[in-house]
Chain A
Amino acid sequence: MSATLGNTEEALQTMCGINSTKARRITSDIDKEMAFVSLLPESVERFPWAGHLGLPMVEQVAATIERAKTSLVFTNTRSQCELWYQGLLSVRPEWAGEMALHHGSLDRDSRKFVEDAVRDRKLKCVVCTASLDLGVDFAPVEQVLQLGSAKGIARLMQRAGRSGHQPGALSTVVCVPTHAFEIVEFAAARKALEQEKIESRIPLPKPLDVLSQHLVTLAVGGGFRREDMLAEIRSAYSYRNLTDLEFDWVLNFVTEGGRALGAYPEYRKVQQYEGHYIVESDSVKQRHRMSIGTITSDDSMHVVFMSGERVGSVEESFIARLRTGDRFVFAGRCLELVRTRDMKAYVRLATSKNGVVPRWMGGRMPLSSELSEAVREELGLASNGIYESEEMRLVEPLLRLQETWSRIPDEKSLLVEHMQSREGYHLFVYPFEGRLVHEGLAALLAYRMSRLLPATFSISINDYGFELVSNINIPVEMLSEHHLFNPENLAKDILRSMNASEMARRRFREIARVAGLVFSGYPGKSKTSRQVQVSSGLLFDVFSEYDPENLLLHQAQREVLEQQLEESRLRNAMKRLSKSNLIAVELQRPSPMAMPLMVESWRGKVSSETIAERVARMQLGLTKKPSKPGKSKSSKVS
């Protein structure tokens, strides 16, 4: 199995089935040596307080790559990967033939080419995403660089393990911060790593979409009988608690179309003959084979050269915003859109070097529970003036500034900052629980407060906390006086507070595909299946109205709560927060912790360049003030 898993016992049961008596866990006593280094900027004062690209570090990163024969440079998103590839080329143009990029949207052939080239020691460095996390083992890789926080201990270990991939060899990972606070995450990650606090991976509880696909697959391949099948399914860990009712619903869904009363005569997917379930129709068989699998991708468009050579794929919505002749950067090259036809974007190489970089959907990973806790511990130490590691000593000036203008929260307290600006009344809350929990918590607080006061809120979040901006002044005492962090009624309030049905709607997309409700068509024949093309959003609406008891809908709702909002983690966080001391600080100006949240809220409103300028300007204003208190005033007097 894997060294980067916190719950190996559960994983064992998941792999071998719950009834397995023969399964054994073998742990080797070889200690994998791992060097964990941070590549730190010279001073934290001139390093950005917010951001996620980290390009100011490009020269230092290039120098680090130079020192090793072969490096993998991990980024957290595909856009970041493209931008860094360009960034490194601009400071080391001579690397053009020795550097490659690798992410999940590139054409399979070109990815394979890159993988082989690494094995054959032809490349100096590959800029990549999670696409190289697993499955690809490269003996020649000497070092791994991680741009930005890996957001989890297991992921960091996994990536580190891509280098020195032989028994006894040293794995080296160099962590590169993209903003100042991330340096705290590095310090925290190092400690958590030493204490072996590794994240668990929890198997999904009885996903019915997967079950329904599986039953059709079995019916295509020779058929099954109900009793045997139910017993077999229940021996799988995820389905160990599957009820008869649920199983029969799925069985009915694949045979009759899923309605309790009255079958649809025109619907014939799986048929039953004397207790034996099979698929007869060849077209059903063929179509099902095309759709087997649970990895779904967003509606993507193939990007191809006029010659027909495939480059990769980008999201349809990105191409839709481009006009013929517009340029975009993809697969490390600047491409010009020639035309789009049949779900293909035809491109040619552009003469110019500048273009927009596509953004792919797929949210950013939240800070894991283990790493969040480690960050809180690190800050707890800092609040007592203890700065142990090199990383913490580097960020010390920033944290001191935070302490001067506001406070550094320790593990037992919850820091709440408030401030008034032209935009309204700001409330900054820092639970340090990762962005998903903050998303839920922020919406919940806003909802609970709006029941007490006639206020409207806008929300922004990051991994450390969230910001609520309201049109009226919200007294901070309200948070504790009205027990707003009380986990009671959590599920009910959260569903009311967030656009939960919109979230379930998005979630349903994946479920609908896996369950065979959306057929993406035969490869290369985008037009033939037009008559049965439908958006999953519309499907969701139709099911909600005409078949509200459909269990696939319930699955979507449950998954929103459990995975998207991390309900159990949210509940634990609220229990912790309702017991912690609330420290309220009125800010004269945004604190170092508040700034990134304010930036987050601008992101949706102005173009990225103006954000960068605004951030630089504000930061400049910020750093001047504390170092020279009162000076400007005295000069005025004289």
Chain B
Amino acid sequence: MNMQIKISGHVEIELEGEKLVLLPQRAIYWQERKMLMVADVHLGKAATFRAQNIAIPAGTTEKDLQTLSQLVVQTGAEHLVFLGDLVHNKRGLTDRICSLILAWREHHDRLNIILVRGNHDKKIPAIAELMRMEIVEEPLSMPPFALKHHPDEDTSGYVLCGHTHPAVRLHGAGQKSLRLPCFAFGNRVGILPAFGSFTGCAEIETTEGERIFVLAGDTVVEVH
């Protein structure tokens, strides 16, 4: 069975004998299991800043939930796994953000959602109820993969994770260069780019044999 993905700009790769679709919206879709994976959403991050009296404009959480909706609809996913850091900080779970999350969940009420707990998700049990999801400790075993937040190798399988918000710098002619978020697949660990639109990224050094896919606008491009 070869289902067609309706999202343009994606790339299909084979990893551990499984077909994975890398989506330009910074997500992975695992067709076989109808499972969508995203890492580091950091819901309510801007609100966290405002609660600390730093005037960041609103709109990022709305946008991220919208993108997530589109992904769910367009892939036809039945499962959604957050690879950690779904919520930035409990101060960011303001009334407005909570009602946004509730409304979103209602819209996708048949979706099965799991959060692999990340460092930011500690001390925020309320989110399990809001999202009506299960929170599990890493690793979540999904052979041949081990779904985690932190990028450490795991004996139970090839690790898919987040945490580092990876990006690479591409050098053009002259002294021009461009920093782009990326997927980075190493020998035993594959890291997803951060999903949240109010998240930064950190440049990584590429190693031999590593496959790097950058997010160039609305297209995924393999560069290494």
Docked complex Cα distance between A193 and B27 (Å): 64
- Which of B46, B50, B51, B91 touches A542 (beta carbons < 8 Å)? B46
Let me know if A538 and B200 touch, CB within 8 A: yes
Docked complex Cα distance between A267 and B51 (Å): 5
Please, what's the 1-or-0 string for A517-551, where 1 marks a CB less than 8 Å from any CB in chain B?
A: 11100000000000110110111001101110010
Q: Is residue B155 contacting chain A, with contact meaning CB distance below 8 A?
A: no
Query: Chain A residue with minimal CB distance to B174?
Result: A458
Q: Which residues of A contact B7 (CB under 8 A)?
A: none
State how many angstroms separate the Cβ of B201 from the closest Cβ of chain A: 9
Docked complex Cα distance between A543 and B88 (Å): 19
Q: Is residue B4 contacting chain A, with contact meaning CB distance below 8 A?
A: no
Let me know if B200 and A534 touch, CB within 8 A: yes
Q: Is residue A516 contacting chain B, with contact meaning CB distance below 8 A?
A: yes
Let me know if B60 and A531 touch, CB within 8 A: no
Q: Which residues of A contact B59 (CB under 8 A)?
A: 545-546
User: Quick one: given A266-B47, A604-B175, are A543 and B53 in contact (CB under 8 Å)?
Assistant: no
Q: Which residues of B contact A148 (CB under 8 A)?
A: none
Q: Which residues of B contact A253 (CB under 8 A)?
A: 55
Q: Which residues of B contact A581 (CB under 8 A)?
A: none
Q: Is residue A465 contacting chain B, with contact meaning CB distance below 8 A?
A: no
Q: Which residues of A contact B200 (CB under 8 A)?
A: 534-535, 537-538
Let me know if A257 and B46 touch, CB within 8 A: no
- Which of A259, A265, A537, A604 touches B57 (beta carbons < 8 Å)? A259
State how many angstroms separate the Cβ of A280 from the closest Cβ of chain B: 11
Q: Is residue B48 contacting chain A, with contact meaning CB distance below 8 A?
A: yes
Let me know if B53 and A531 touch, CB within 8 A: no
- Which of B53, B56, B95 touches A539 (beta carbons < 8 Å)? B56
Number of interface residues of B (CB under 8 A): 28
Which of B47, B48, B52 has the most chain A CB atoms inside 10 A of its CB?
B52
Q: Is residue A258 contacting chain B, with contact meaning CB distance below 8 A?
A: yes
Q: Is residue A95 contacting chain B, with contact meaning CB distance below 8 A?
A: no
Which of A266, A456, A517, A604 has the most chain B CB atoms inside 10 A of its CB?
A266
State how many angstroms separate the Cβ of A530 from the closest Cβ of chain B: 9
Q: Which residues of A contact B164 (CB under 8 A)?
A: none
Let me know if A284 and B57 touch, CB within 8 A: no
Let me know if A519 and B54 touch, CB within 8 A: yes
Q: Is residue A459 contacting chain B, with contact meaning CB distance below 8 A?
A: yes
Within 8 A of A (CB), among B171-193: 173-175
Q: Is residue A264 contacting chain B, with contact meaning CB distance below 8 A?
A: yes
Q: Is residue A268 contacting chain B, with contact meaning CB distance below 8 A?
A: yes
Let me know if B174 and A550 touch, CB within 8 A: no
Q: Is residue A151 contacting chain B, with contact meaning CB distance below 8 A?
A: no
State how many angstroms separate the Cβ of B34 from the closest Cβ of chain A: 32
Q: Is residue B207 contacting chain A, with contact meaning CB distance below 8 A?
A: no
User: Quick one: given A458-B173, A534-B49, are A517 and B198 in contact (CB under 8 Å)?
Assistant: no
Q: Which residues of B contact A539 (CB under 8 A)?
A: 56
Which of B53, B57, B58, B200 has the most chain A CB atoms inside 10 A of its CB?
B53
Let me know if B49 and A258 touch, CB within 8 A: no
Q: Which residues of A contact B52 (CB under 8 A)?
A: 519, 531-532
Docked complex Cα distance between A638 and B88 (Å): 83
Please, what's the 1-or-0 string for B58-70, where 1 marks a CB less than 8 Å from any CB in chain A?
A: 1110000000000
Let me know if A542 and B174 touch, CB within 8 A: no
Let me know if B174 and A532 touch, CB within 8 A: no
Q: Which residues of B contact A258 (CB under 8 A)?
A: 55, 57
Let me know if B49 and A532 touch, CB within 8 A: yes
Let me know if B175 and A456 touch, CB within 8 A: no
Let me know if A531 and B50 touch, CB within 8 A: no
Docked complex Cα distance between A534 and B46 (Å): 10
Let me know if B174 and A459 touch, CB within 8 A: yes
Q: Is residue A269 contacting chain B, with contact meaning CB distance below 8 A?
A: yes
Let me know if A267 and B46 touch, CB within 8 A: no
Please, what's the 1-or-0 string for A232-276, where 1 marks a CB less than 8 Å from any CB in chain B?
A: 000000000000000000000100011100001111110000000
Let me know if A542 and B56 touch, CB within 8 A: yes
State how many angstroms separate the Cβ of A277 from the closest Cβ of chain B: 14
Let me know if B198 and A266 touch, CB within 8 A: no
- Which of A265, A267, A538, A545 touches B55 (beta carbons < 8 Å)? A267
Docked complex Cα distance between A472 and B50 (Å): 53
Query: Chain B residue with minimal CB distance to A533?
Result: B200
Let me know if B91 and A531 touch, CB within 8 A: yes
Let me know if A267 and B174 touch, CB within 8 A: no
Query: Chain B residue with minimal CB distance to A499?
Result: B176
- Which of B94, B174, B198 touches A538 (beta carbons < 8 Å)? B198
Which of A264, A518, A534 has the most chain B CB atoms inside 10 A of its CB?
A264
Docked complex Cα distance between A517 and B53 (Å): 9
- Which of A281, A516, A546, A604 touches B60 (beta carbons < 8 Å)? A546
Q: Which residues of A contact B173 (CB under 8 A)?
A: 456, 458
Let me know if A546 and B49 touch, CB within 8 A: no
Query: Chain B residue with minimal CB distance to A457?
Result: B174
What are 18 A-B interface contacts by the 8 Å CB criterion?
A: A264-B47, A266-B50, A266-B91, A267-B51, A267-B53, A269-B53, A269-B55, A281-B53, A284-B53, A456-B173, A458-B173, A517-B55, A531-B88, A532-B48, A532-B52, A538-B200, A542-B56, A542-B57
A interface residues, Cβ below 8 angstroms from B: 253, 257-259, 264-269, 281, 284, 287, 456, 458-459, 516-519, 531-532, 534-535, 537-539, 542-543, 545-547, 550, 604
B interface residues, Cβ below 8 angstroms from A: 46-60, 88-89, 91, 94-96, 173-175, 197-200
Known A-B contacts: A258-B57, A281-B53. Give 11 more (CB < 8 A). Answer: A257-B50, A259-B58, A265-B94, A265-B96, A266-B91, A267-B50, A516-B54, A531-B48, A532-B48, A532-B49, A546-B57
- Across the A-B interface, the 7 shortest Cβ-Cβ residue pairs: A547-B57, A257-B55, A546-B57, A546-B59, A458-B174, A266-B51, A269-B53
